[in-house]
Amino acid sequence: MVNPGIPRTLILEAGPRRARKNKAMPRTIRDQDALDYHSKGKPGKIEVVPTKPCFTQRDLSLAYSPGVAVPCLEIEKNPDDAYNYTSKGNLVAVISNGTAVLGLGSIGALAGKPVMEGKGVLFKRFADVDVFDIEVDTLDPEEIIRCVELIAPTFGGINLEDIKAPECFEIERRLQEKLDIPVFHDDQHGTAIISAAGMLNALEIVGKDIADVSVVFMGAGAATMGCAEHFLNVGVRRENIVMLDRAGVIYKGRDQHMNQWKERWASDTDARTLEDAMKGADVFMGLSVGNLLNKDHVRSMADSPIIFAMANPDPEITYYDAKDARSDVIMATGRSDYPNQVNNVLGFPFIFRGALDVRARAINTEMKLAASRALAKLAKQDVPDNVRKAYGGEDIRFGPDYIIPKPIDPRVLIWEAPAVARTAVETGVARIQISDWDEYRENLERIYGPSRNVVRRVVRKARQAEKKIIFPEGEERNIIRAAQVLLDDRIARPLLVGNPERIRAQAADLGLELEGAEFVNPREDAERIAKRLYELRARKGMLPHEALSQAKSPLINSVMRVYLDEADGIVCGLNRTYAETLGPSLGILRRKEGVKKVSGMYVIVFQDRTLFFADATVNIDPNAEDLAEIALLAGKTVRTYFDTEPRIAMLSFSTFGSTRHPFTEKVRKATEMARALDPTLSIEGEIQADAALNPEMVERSFPNSILKGNANVLVFPNLNSANIAYKLMERLAKAEIIGPIIMGVRKPVSVLNHWSTVDQIVNISAITAIAASRAPELRKEEAIRQQVVERSEKAD
């Protein structure tokens, strides 16, 4: 198994030798830190948590006797019902006998338990798969096979772990034949799947055909043979593979240190040593021991060599030595402090997630290939800012130093698990079908918390809208990166304003294509835009030459295109203030009928809930009438754009008259006005923030509150408090901030912050697209409302 993060205080040698203190590597974690981590609080790293309530007598009677008899009888009649009434469908057994533990060697079943618990942590953390780690205290393969066979009904899948070669090959093969659930030896296949993804991308970068490259495998254990087998499936030719063990090249006719599994990889070659094998080789795959390769080995390889030095914790050659020997080398290791980390956590959680979700009977070759290809394709996508931030803000993009996705990239789940699940369905090993793959991906998003589902729902609605969004700052790198995401995910059609050649050059520098994007040079079409602008603003003091000058401005040009229905909405503000963006937009697009003041709302996405803050953008000190209008606009926006029923809290430092002051009186009056204007909205106030958000407090102290402590829209009394609050949420609570959504303009206008990330630009663009899809309907509603008002006035 390639180590996802072992403390580097020890050199860990393969086999049953004793570990020795590592003098070559710096201490990055003390031994006592590791012991404290595992021992403090509840010992170990995992626990079993009930998924159903068990507090009352009724709960007990349902959880156990007599109620539990009912699902038991259903399962007896139909064994597949175990997936419906038990945790079987999300439960994996991690099985080990401790004979090949993380390079520690044969330390025994019990001593390997911390590793197996760690495996369970990674399953849960990255893919929400539940795990029982089972340490089997035997060296007899037959006993392991029989043990797993007997306990298999409990589980939806079996992950074999840290069982030494060659016994692991026979154990996996026999269990795959006997069981109708996935059996997966991660030491073999996990490393193979991730390294193959990296190799495919490396070969693309250097321009070599996979069918022509020669590959040297160093090591003849489970991981090496698993990689070699998988590489055949991705296109490497058998005659181009040379494998070595501690005795040298495995060649046809060799009779020492051989077995039936090594025989399969015996080559018809004159090479006998590592030096021989490395001459002219295109690819080196190391799964052996540290510091085995030297610079001369690297220099002897073919042009643009590819080296995967995956021994842990010391690679066969360091990144810096390899680069020093050959500047054209593409290098990957198992370490996180070098580029291109081959980390098994990119594989097993998501492979099992996809397999379990379709109740697969096996993880077949095609599913493994699908996982490799999904990872390879993901590495070519633009990397989100939150991933870059986790790695010190470095510029991560597809190229020699980035051929494999980063282990903490949350997109791996959404790319790899569906690829595996879909392939299981297509190859006939799935028990159930998935009819809506977009919905499946939305469900996967929930693994990272309910908040992700909010964003996913917005994106899905935006896709259905199929709107064109214009970006006046089209030459900005973050805008270009966001435009690529909009195109890739079919969220909206970006129209980038600026010099097309500069935009394309920026995109090429970022490794992006922008296929499908439109480009607008505001100077080339200025006269047409100026004519329409002058018609619109002639009675507002504008002169023809002023109209022409303004039409050449990217912002005015973009706003006019929205006005002329050549674009559906505008997103802008990276290098402008709010006033500089909103002023021209309002002057041209104007407020909605009946709206006296525009306002802004932020979406505040937490791990367990989503809130909406208004007005945190525009109105500095709104009066009661303004606050009422803000509440109504916010409520309608939440209901319309997010398919969420708004529960609006009008915030103050007083709750229901507990403090008398002009400030609290303003909020109380605003609440009454808002309720009168739209009785369909649930609006409460004046109310303190804790009472608005804490159901227990409300039940105890304010039982007559209509919100019951479940407010989701918070209307602040002034810009001071709202602006401070949303920024505190972002910095201290680590909430994801989307917005601001500008409310009250006839056509969608969204304003960015100077520091908006690519994710934030994408999210606000999606909301802008949704707003554009609803704009005609809302205008129609406004017109009808206005007619009703006019008729009422005439009747009076």
Lowest mean pLDDT among 439-453, 479-493, 519-533: 439-453
pLDDT of 208 higher than 70: yes
Specify the pLDDT at position 451: 62
Lowest mean pLDDT among 63-67, 72-76, 103-107: 103-107
pLDDT of 261 higher than 70: yes
* Active-site residue (options: 64, 178, 279, 391): 64
Which pLDDT band holds residue 24 (cuts at 50, 70, 90)? very low
CA of 451: how far to CAs of 409, 458, 517, 543, in Å?
A: 17, 11, 30, 50
pLDDT for 543-565, tens place per residue? 999 989 999 999 999 999 999 99
Q: Got the DSSP string for 603-658?
A: EEE-SS-EEEEESSSS-SS--HHHHHHHHHHHHHHHHHHH----EEEEE-SSSTTS
Q: What distance in Å separates the CA atoms of residue 543 and residue 565, rounded to the nearest whole number?
A: 24
* Active-site residue (options: 88, 119, 666, 747): 119
DSSP SS3 for 486: helix
Specify the pLDDT at position 697: 81
* Complete edge-to-edge strand list for the sheet that includes strand 468-471: 518-520, 493-497, 468-471, 569-572, 749-751, 736-743, 599-605, 610-614, 713-715, 647-651, 682-687
pLDDT of 19 higher than 50: no
Higher pLDDT, 528 or 609: 528
* Complete edge-to-edge strand list for the sheet that includes strand 306-309: 248-249, 241-245, 215-218, 283-286, 306-309, 330-333
Tokens at 353, concatenated = 């997630």
Q: What is the mean pLDDT of residues 228-245?
A: 96
Is 119 an active-site residue? yes
Is 64 an active-site residue? yes
Candidate ranges 271-280, 457-466, 600-609; pick with highest mean pLDDT: 271-280
Specify the pLDDT at position 786: 55
pLDDT of 20 higher than 70: no
**Interhelix angle 624-642/450-465, nearest 10 degrees:** 80
Q: Which contiguous run of DSSP H or E holds residue 758?
A: helix 758-795
pLDDT for 653-669, tens place per residue? 998 888 889 999 999 99
Higher pLDDT, 36 or 355: 355
CA-angle at 220, arms to 218 and 222, nearest 5°:
120
Distance of CA 781 to the CA centre of its chain: 38
pLDDT of 747 higher than 50: yes
Specify the pLDDT at position 126: 93
CA-angle at 82, arms to 81 and 88, nearest 5°:
145
Q: What is the mean pLDDT of residues 55-82?
A: 93
Longest CA span, the chain: 108
Q: What is the mean pLDDT of residues 274-289?
A: 95
pLDDT of 490 higher than 60: yes
User: First CA to last CA across the chain, in angstroms?
Assistant: 82
pLDDT for 420-438, tens place per residue? 999 999 999 999 999 999 8
Share of the chain above pLDDT 70, in %: 93
Q: What is the mean pLDDT of the chain?
A: 89
Q: H-type helices in 383-524, by residue range?
A: 385-390, 411-426, 437-445, 450-465, 477-488, 500-509
DSSP SS3 for 302: coil
Q: What is the mean pLDDT of residues 336-356?
A: 94
Q: What is the mean pLDDT of residues 278-296?
A: 94
pLDDT for 113-169, tens place per residue? 999 999 999 999 999 999 999 999 999 999 999 999 999 999 999 999 999 989 999
Specify the pLDDT at position 796: 55
Q: Got the DSSP string for 517-536?
A: -EEE-TTTTHHHHHHHHHHH
For residue 488, give the amino acid letter: D
Q: Got the DSSP string for 653-718?
A: SSSTTSS--HHHHHHHHHHHHHHHH-TTSEEEEEE-HHHHH-HHHHHHH-TT-SSTT---EEE-SS
Residues 6+ away with beta carbon under 8 Å from 255: none
* Complete edge-to-edge strand list for the sheet that includes strand 130-135: 130-135, 91-96, 157-160, 183-185
Which pLDDT band holds residue 15 (cuts at 50, 70, 90)? very low
Which pLDDT band holds residue 340 (cuts at 50, 70, 90)? very high
pLDDT of 281 higher than 90: yes
pLDDT of 700 higher than 50: yes
pLDDT for 622-633, tens place per residue? 999 999 999 999
Higher pLDDT, 755 or 777: 755
Specify the pLDDT at position 274: 96
Query: Of 669, 707, 673, which Cα lies nearest the Cα of 688?
Result: 707
Specify the pLDDT at position 102: 76
Which pLDDT band holds residue 389 (cuts at 50, 70, 90)? confident
Tokens at 734, concatenated = 């680590």
Per the CB < 8 A criterion, the answer to whether 447 and 128 are in contact is: yes
Per the CB < 8 A criterion, the answer to whether 565 and 495 are in contact is: no
Specify the pLDDT at position 6: 33
Residues 6+ away with beta carbon under 8 Å from 653: 659, 663, 664, 688
Query: Of 290, 384, 270, 370, which Cα lies nearest the Cα of 335?
Result: 290
Specify the pLDDT at position 167: 94
* Bridge partners, residue 132, by sequence: 93
Which pLDDT band holds residue 452 (cuts at 50, 70, 90)? low
pLDDT of 8 higher than 50: no
This prediction's pTM: 0.78
Q: Are strands 713-715 and 647-651 parallel, antiparallel or unpaired?
A: parallel
